[in-house]
Structure 1
């Protein structure tokens, strides 16, 4: 196997597809709270949602998981889904929505290259809502690698974007 292969720079992760136990409850979270648009239903057991009219960024289904239990945090599987917001103000808007809905956060971090808010969806799937800082604000180590940190994110400062 050629270990020198590099994935093309324009490659993107196109969408996620999650097994959920209750489709209506998942739609309340992803559509009604986070604001993704429902693009289509696939029968009664799957829904596809998007931002900006794409065919789908998020697929939700109960094909093998209807009324099932959440996966154990101590087993292999998805750590979190990361949703990239275009601006710091957009991240502040979704933070305000979460606060107004009294939706629990599991964390908030400044990673140097990005600012992130963490929460779990109703099925216990981790969700990261974040925005990237412009690349010219990133720090690099002497070896050229990106310097990332996990510092507390000042949520009050983030909310000042809404003033």
Structure 2
């Protein structure tokens, strides 16, 4: 059986939202993305660093709809990878400054992650990876990921001052 190339990445996520202006405002203010293009009044594309889009938002079949039930199949969360601990701390501060309710935080050994939801109930993870040589491994060399508490105050302390 063939496998995906080692260099493959996930290019973007496209979410159904109920209120496009509200969703765009959230992802701009809280995650720090920039709108690259609107597609009429029903979709928007956002990115970081000038990429065509990391995130698509649309109301094609969801305008005005209630959030999907938490226990229904579907996307668990979209994960936004930050390059280092300081930028993750800044992202956490931005989320908290916008009144986002933090739903969880964990040190997975391979990464540090913070979890919350957007206004439509879509799960979000903001995280940073540790260098692969620092990943925890068991005696046989296999990954030994964990789910330890993450010290959010220490993470916030590493965020650059505004």
TM interval, shorter chain, is: over 0.9
Which residues of structure 2 form unaligned runs of 5+?
none
Match of 1:75 among 72, 75, 88: 72
Offset from partner CA, 1:85-142 (integer Å, 9 cap, x none): 0111000001111222221111111100000010000000000000001111111123
Q: Is 1:159 matched up with 2:156?
A: yes
Superposition misfits of 4+ residues, deviation over 3 angstroms: none
Aligned to 2:9: 12
Aligned partners of 1:65, 1:47: CA distance in 2, in Å? 14
TM-score (normalizing by structure 2): 0.95
* Shift in CA distance, 6/145, structure 1 to aligned 2, threshold 3 Å: farther
Equivalent in 124, 129, 134 of residue 126 of structure 2: 129
**Structure 1 partner of 2:49:** 52
Q: How many angstroms does 1:154 deviate by?
A: 0.2
Count of residues in correspondence between the two structures: 160
Q: How far has the Cα of 1:156 moved from its partner?
A: 1.0
Instruction: Report the TM-score, using the length of structure 1 for normalisation.
Output: 0.94
Which residue pairs with 1:144 in the alignment?
141
List runs of 5+ in structure 1 lacking aligned partners. none
Cα RMSD of the aligned pairs, angstroms, is 1.1
